[in-house]
């Protein structure tokens, strides 16, 4: 539980720091996103809102799913350009979502997995399933943005 609280704090602080003092994150000019659609699949509302705020400020269009099952339905229905997927979620884990996403299309969607889990076996398993990037919480928002920009360029 302490890791999740620390992760929320770092993501929030990073989002605020990216905006600069006294500036609302949403007021930054859109630049890199070009309307590309990103599906955030995470059950933590604070982390989702932090990522949403920063990604929308860069011009990305954001969709949100709160559990793995909802994430799969939205990925199939909405066909996002990228999925940011939490590993530990209710109803269906990020691993099961990733596995299904990889089997569902000849040109599967790009996926960034985020997790508070420290284990290297989990990273190796995610890579075996075909994850495009793996980011451990807490993470600097710049790390997420660099990965998003790289995968969507």
DSSP sequence for 5-58: HHHHHHHHHHHHHHH-TT--GGGSPP-S-TT-EEEEE-S-HHHHHHHHHHHHHT
Cα torsion 46, 86, 54, 38 to 10°: value is -130
Answer for the pair 125, 95: CB distance below 8 angstroms, yes or no: yes
Domain ranges (residues) in the chain = 2-152
User: Which residues make beta-bridge pairs with 111?
Assistant: 83
Q: Domain 2-152 carries which CATH code?
A: 3.40.50.2300
pLDDT of residue 31: 53
pLDDT digits (tens, 9 = 90+) for 21-65: 443 333 333 456 678 999 999 999 999 999 999 999 999 999 999
Answer for the pair 125, 87: CB distance below 8 angstroms, yes or no: no
Peptide bond into 138 cis (omega under 30): yes
pTM over 0.75: yes
Q: Which percentage of the chain shows pLDDT scores above 70?
A: 78
Determine the average pLDDT of the residues in 6-16: 45
pLDDT of residue 94: 94
pLDDT digits (tens, 9 = 90+) for 88-139: 998 999 999 999 999 877 788 999 999 998 889 999 999 999 999 999 999 9
| Cβ-proximal residues to 111 (8 Å cutoff; 6+ apart), any chain | 82, 83, 84, 85, 98, 101, 130, 131, 132, 133
pLDDT for residue 14 is more than 50: no
pLDDT of residue 26: 34
Q: Which residue has the higher pLDDT, 19 or 93?
A: 93
């Amino acid at each position: 539980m302490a890791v999740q609280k620390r992760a929320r704090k770092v993501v929030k602080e990073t989002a605020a720091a990216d905006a600069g003092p006294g500036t609302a994150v949403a007021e930054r000019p859109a630049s890199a996103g070009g309307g590309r659609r990103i599906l955030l699949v995470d059950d933590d509302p604070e982390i989702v809102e932090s990522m949403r705020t920063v990604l929308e400020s860069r011009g990305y269009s954001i969709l949100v799913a709160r559990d793995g099952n909802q994430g799969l339905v939205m990925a199939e229905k909405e066909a996002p350009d990228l999925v940011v997927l939490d590993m530990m979620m209710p109803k269906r884990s990020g691993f099961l979502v990733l596995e299904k996403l990889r089997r569902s299309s000849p040109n599967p969607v790009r996926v960034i997995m985020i997790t508070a889990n420290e284990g290297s076996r989990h990273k190796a398993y995610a890579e075996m399933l075909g994850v495009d990037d793996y980011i451990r919480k807490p993470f600097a928002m710049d790390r997420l943005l660099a990965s998003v920009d790289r995968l969507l360029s």
